[in-house]
Structure 1
């Protein structure tokens, strides 16, 4: 036992000292040496983290009880049953820190977190271990480009413990403008022909960055050739000067960019970066599914997508150990939070079940106790159990309860509405769905007129310039076919006909800028200011 504890201390000290040395050496030496040193030590620590995860997977009940004890004030722990009796379910979580800020890289902070069960550190180590096992060349120095807007609190990239992985300059993330941040990061990514990994905070960020490439590649090529960063809105002059100092003219790379873009944008990502092995996305499920499908069929054709972590209500909860599988699924880690689950459909007198009491194939609403003082919060997330890794459930996110459409209690979940919308769009010749949001008529106020409560849907399409009345009605008809309760209310006249609007290109990029820091795209708008922004872009 003492020997094992000594090994833990030795590894922890080694990781701490190594990271401190890397931060110092990287300022004075080429990237390769500090990168190789830190990668070697961190991968050893990552193997230990993986063993710890495997051990925890065999003792789920005990791990959950210990985690709950850590989250409660000292001397108050009486077991999970007493905890559930004492604290009623809360209607929602406060969201925590959606930006995913990480630990300070100060040595003592790292040493303390290594002893504990700090999720950001453990998650990053598990990410490095997973890449080592499946895509070892993805751990090359400066082989990862980051596309992520992080105003205010910096957002942690997946491999934050190994900063020499990244070729993206830090000042490009917290710019005041989302559009400016993504454009600058794209420019620095284009400089590196030997990229192995393209990482984005969300699928929408990658999507919008590649829209910038489609629309502005001549300007980007010119900046590469001249080694000059052009002034642009949302890019302060002092920051532009610091970024400018990192650029050098590269006419050969600019010529490659022009040649590839002139051939079209199908598969453009792999053509621009021939050594690219995978795309890493902070969020790639639920509302982001639309963008993932679009990218897989278009610009990122032929590349695997890997979403390494599962977050909900601002808490880091699970890790994806299967990067080569097309659909992300996550192992819930027993020592990252105390989990409870409400079976779906909801019961009249709901009683939660615990992490070790789930059934494969069933859906559950997630209830979290992830930080001290925030007890038994309904996260609003619905998960489906797809299997087990030892005793730990493996889950896939299904939908967000806050994104359910309902004007008469009919309850149309976002995942099922999306499938119905796709079915309707498939009936419009030449049309392809780019993006969409929904609004319940109550948000429109007096502007909705005297009609019965109804839905309004705003879509961006490619391949179609206008919508006929027959096409507009087709979506309402599909909803009636897929949702009998909705059809009944429509027949009675207590729900009015759905109203469908088409918006111009760029409307949803402006919406995402207005939403603020990166988060999953809302499919049902609840704020009047966001509704007005979308309404101002309607073209049909």
Structure 2
């Protein structure tokens, strides 16, 4: 598909959505045939399809396996090392997109071709026309969107390896975008492209304050990033106001691009504006602070689905519940997927319409409530090819795991997202995002599953052995009340420092003596857990500072028995009860916190290398 065919804006963009969704089945078949036509000569497809260069859709579905990253990783690594892109795709791979998922502690690398940027731009161009149907007049002011790039690497053969958002912000599609009154950002591009996240945050907030009376909408990609910005503002508002008052940028900003861009914004002193902001930020309560600083704002835009839903109460507090939260699109490093056609809906009701021209989509049916079937839950067990359902054949109310095939060389690839069908727009289904497969903890871009947490705890608890202390049980939750949020692990420890047989009495009773474990030992347990967690978590902790130090809360003996009793009293089965490794219940969290003896935090950042 020619990238030029994807350049739609305004009313034309909405017409294209209608056209695509009306013929979703035809578009999907056309997309798959085009992928096979382009990529049929690749080594990967030739391994499974009998005829080299076959375009047979039925043969593809019958012969090509459903895979996870482990099955495609060796091909991707060979290309990263310098072999030809024709291993998996008929087009040159131009970059590797670093997914927030991990393999052996490192980000997954997703292949990307030049045309993928056209598809992403197509989706971005749909957002404002869709919202403008519900919130008119967005061309009469500015958007304060806080966007950030992350440091990138090069693969051994010189391909850029970076996040999908960094790729877009550094692309010609973003840099040379057509001036559009609907997308007039407060943030200068130089501030967005600054690799120093603190300097970038400072300059973007400063620009937002300078334009405070023109801001009609504000947000960030993820809700967590917006809350982090509010926390940053709490710490730095006096510095920001001083810059506005004197018309000069704080000397701590040393990035040349930021200095140049901000000198234009701060062309003259504005003591009146500085006083306005100081009066607002100096109030004892920051409830509704967003509306006070940006009084014309009509909505907040950010991802508030999945793990980001935990931040909705905090956003409601800072906006005093007056601003709707808009979650616009559904995208991943593997493939951009769909849009929210009802942007002003409640965060709990967000559903995305998958656009059939983005890639070829199939779905693994799941059990009730999105639970994994046993044979599907094990990544090493191959999913039966004939179990997959096409895009237009999913059923209302049912749960599925998403599988994608892309032009860039992913074939029947399990993204790991669990979705529920909530409706249809024409012939295209609409999905509610339920969760990432097996993810139990997430604060920012991190995604920690039960297995990773267990491995980390297993390593850390060994530090208790010299003190003859035993970790009886544990659970966890993501604490997002503070900014940045952090992981909390509840530990119940049995102290058995000395077990002495009472031989004089000739019985089997043991005398148990206990000693207090030094606080430094538990602190080292905290850092041991963090050191064992994956690359993305450690980067967020040590480099991005978007996750706070991990906390271990030691609870009284018997706490986990009481937790089990509570769940059984609520209707759980004693025969099937398993300690939840992540707490979702407010009642359970209240019980655990009521039994806390002491709290310990990681004493330093975990090791991380760019």
Partner of residue 123, structure 2: 123
Whether the 8 Å contact between 1:231 and 1:237 is mirrored in structure 2 is no
After superposition, the Cα gap between the structure-2 partners of 1:175 and 1:462, relative to the gap in structure 1 and judged at 3 Å, is: closer
| Equivalent residues, number | 423
After superposition, the Cα gap between the structure-2 partners of 1:460 and 1:270, relative to the gap in structure 1 and judged at 3 Å, is: closer
C-alpha separation in 2, matches of 1:290 and 1:316: 24
TM-score, length of structure 1 as denominator length? 0.68
Partner of residue 81, structure 1: 58
After superposition, the Cα gap between the structure-2 partners of 1:307 and 1:77, relative to the gap in structure 1 and judged at 3 Å, is: farther
Partner of residue 30, structure 2: 66
2:461 to 448, 458, 462: 448
Partner of residue 206, structure 1: 226
Larger radius of gyration: 2
Any idea what the Cα deviations from partners look like across 1:282-303, whole Å, max 9, x if unmatched?
A: x221111112331113346310
Partner of residue 352, structure 2: 330
Any idea what the Cα deviations from partners look like across 1:228-258, whole Å, max 9, x if unmatched?
A: 22133xx534234313422232211111111
Whether the 8 Å contact between 1:146 and 1:199 is mirrored in structure 2 is yes
Whether the 8 Å contact between 1:382 and 1:398 is mirrored in structure 2 is yes
Partner of residue 477, structure 1: 563
- Does residue 366 of the first structure (1) align with residue 385 of the second (2)? no
C-alpha separation in 2, matches of 1:183 and 1:354: 46
Partner of residue 532, structure 2: none
C-alpha separation in 1, matches of 2:341 and 2:455: 43
Residue 266 of structure 1: CA displacement? 0.7
Residue 174 of structure 1: CA displacement? 2.6
- Does residue 55 of the first structure (1) align with residue 14 of the second (2)? no
TM-score, length of structure 2 as denominator length? 0.60
1:231-310 equivalences under 5 Å are 231-232=251-252, 235-246=253-264, 247-248=266-267, 249-263=269-283, 264-281=285-302, 283-299=303-319, 301-310=321-330
After superposition, the Cα gap between the structure-2 partners of 1:276 and 1:362, relative to the gap in structure 1 and judged at 3 Å, is: same
After superposition, the Cα gap between the structure-2 partners of 1:132 and 1:468, relative to the gap in structure 1 and judged at 3 Å, is: same
C-alpha separation in 2, matches of 1:453 and 1:472: 10
Partner of residue 35, structure 1: none
C-alpha separation in 2, matches of 1:313 and 1:453: 36
**SS of equivalent to 2:202:** helix
After superposition, the Cα gap between the structure-2 partners of 1:490 and 1:364, relative to the gap in structure 1 and judged at 3 Å, is: closer
C-alpha separation in 2, matches of 1:475 and 1:209: 41
C-alpha separation in 1, matches of 2:318 and 2:560: 27
Partner of residue 215, structure 1: 235
Any idea what the Cα deviations from partners look like across 1:164-218, whole Å, max 9, x if unmatched?
A: 5112111112323323322221111011122111131211111100011222222
After superposition, the Cα gap between the structure-2 partners of 1:216 and 1:368, relative to the gap in structure 1 and judged at 3 Å, is: same
After superposition, the Cα gap between the structure-2 partners of 1:166 and 1:285, relative to the gap in structure 1 and judged at 3 Å, is: same
After superposition, the Cα gap between the structure-2 partners of 1:461 and 1:391, relative to the gap in structure 1 and judged at 3 Å, is: closer
Partner of residue 364, structure 2: 342
Worse-matched range after superposition: 466-475 or 118-127: 466-475
Instruction: Write 1 or 2 for the structure with the bigger share of strand.
Output: 2
Residue 498 of structure 1: CA displacement? 9.0
Any idea what the Cα deviations from partners look like across 1:52-109, whole Å, max 9, x if unmatched?
A: 2212222222111111122224464544332122210111387963699xxxxxxxxx
Any idea what the Cα deviations from partners look like across 1:29-56, whole Å, max 9, x if unmatched?
A: xxxxxxxxxxxxx7xx432232222122
Residue 267 of structure 1: CA displacement? 0.8
C-alpha separation in 1, matches of 2:257 and 2:356: 42
Whether the 8 Å contact between 1:460 and 1:502 is mirrored in structure 2 is no
Partner of residue 378, structure 1: 414
Partner of residue 388, structure 1: 424
**SS of equivalent to 1:231:** coil
Residue 460 of structure 1: CA displacement? 5.9
Any idea what the Cα deviations from partners look like across 1:341-361, whole Å, max 9, x if unmatched?
A: 111124446411010111111
C-alpha separation in 1, matches of 2:432 and 2:554: 38
Whether the 8 Å contact between 1:441 and 1:448 is mirrored in structure 2 is no
Unaligned runs of 5+ in 1: 1-8, 17-41, 101-111, 405-413, 419-434, 492-496, 512-527, 531-540
Whether the 8 Å contact between 2:553 and 2:600 is mirrored in structure 1 is no
C-alpha separation in 1, matches of 2:561 and 2:145: 38
Residue 476 of structure 1: CA displacement? 7.6
C-alpha separation in 2, matches of 1:173 and 1:287: 25
C-alpha separation in 2, matches of 1:88 and 1:488: 35
After superposition, the Cα gap between the structure-2 partners of 1:502 and 1:131, relative to the gap in structure 1 and judged at 3 Å, is: farther
Whether the 8 Å contact between 2:203 and 2:262 is mirrored in structure 1 is no
- Does residue 177 of the first structure (1) align with residue 196 of the second (2)? yes
Residue 336 of structure 1: CA displacement? 0.8
Any idea what the Cα deviations from partners look like across 1:360-403, whole Å, max 9, x if unmatched?
A: 11110011112332101100100011111111101111000141
Any idea what the Cα deviations from partners look like across 1:253-290, whole Å, max 9, x if unmatched?
A: 11111111223211111111111111122x22111111
Unaligned runs of 5+ in 2: 41-52, 77-95, 101-113, 153-165, 376-382, 463-469, 484-550, 581-590
